[in-house]
Amino acid sequence: MDLRAVVALGVRLLVVHDGLPGKLPFPGTACPPKVATLQALWDAGRVPCVTSSTPFQDGAHLARELGAQRLLCMGPTVPPSRRGQIGLREIPAEARARNPALWTTLEAFASGPGCAAVVLARGAGAVFAELFTHHGSGLMLGHALAEGVRPAHPGDAADIFLLLRDDVHRGAIRPVDEHGVAETLEQHLVYVIDGVVVGTARLIPHGDRAELSRFATLPRYRGRGRARALGEALIDRARAQGYAGVFALSIEARMWGFFESLGMSPADRATLPESWLAGYDLSRPSRAYALAF
């Protein structure tokens, strides 16, 4: 279990279903607890965990009492408001238009400063999957979305590694560990939403050309142009740094179309820079794409 995700999200409270199998990450107390008790635990640097047979309703109530700015609802299935679509964050107007009944439960949110309240629906391991391995289903409701691309900061190495880990395990990205990410951090860009890193990509120098590499986005944030924003930012960075062009490779068909959408064309791997050829396993069934400036 990696509690850095809880810290990154600024989680103030966990509300979990009392039927959740397995051990909870924190000692649990039955709902409804006294808000003053929860506040005291938070002030002491602890994240309280509350068990409830109705976590969604109790979580919304406690979020209001604690003055929470955001409420993250998670479970083993996509919430009713998102069936057939990708679960992601929404502002109140979007949530109200999409599902008025759902919003009725949540409309009492306070607009003042606060952290997130987390509600877990019944389902084995759902909270661990969503918060600690970035899989699962969920819906984030908040009063504002601040997002964009920026250079990676020294504290982003762990988040970038977590983004890349699954792709490394299935062979889509060449092996790398957290130390390796930290050593090349200045080559990475990240996509951030409300201060949380949800996507990353890397620009690797190879002589007069540069490679677009290590594209990764949290599954629940895919399909909204965030990888494209990272790709375009890398291309802009390569131009600004004086490279003659960029290239990219992938073994995944979905990435081939993505590279073409960035204006890149299929290329023979033998035409790529010698420094790249010297360190690449040509037995990998990858396709190359290139763009000359």
Q: What is the pLDDT of residues 93-128, one digit of tens each?
A: 555 666 565 555 554 433 333 334 444 433 333 333
Residues 184 and 211 in one domain: yes
Q: Which of 91, 122, 142 is the last residue of a domain?
A: 142
Q: Which of 142, 161, 182 is the last residue of a domain?
A: 142
Residues 9 and 65 in one domain: yes
Residues 80 and 53 in one domain: yes
Residues 160 and 218 in one domain: yes
Residues 162 and 137 in one domain: no
Q: Which domain holds residue 17?
A: 4-142
- Decide: pTM greater than 0.85: no
Q: How many other β-carbons are positioned within 10 Å of the β-carbon of residue 62?
A: 25
Question: Which one is predicted more confidently, 7 or 290?
Answer: 290
Question: Measured between alpha carbons, how far is 68 from 51 in angstroms, rounded to an integer?
Answer: 18
Per residue in 202-259, pLDDT tens?
A: 999 999 999 999 999 988 788 888 999 999 999 999 999 999 999 999 998 989 999 9
Q: How many other β-carbons are positioned within 10 Å of the β-carbon of residue 40?
A: 12
Q: At what angle do helices 253-261 and 226-240 cross, to 10 degrees?
A: 60
Q: Which of 110, 142, 174 is the last residue of a domain?
A: 142
Q: How many other β-carbons are positioned within 10 Å of the β-carbon of residue 191?
A: 25
- What's the domain count of the chain? 2
Element holding 255 (H helix, E strand) = helix 253-261
What is each CA distance from 258 to 2, 155, 192, 254, 265, in whole angstroms?
31, 29, 20, 7, 11
Residues 54 and 155 in one domain: no
Residues 179 and 254 in one domain: yes
Token digits of residue 90: 């929404």
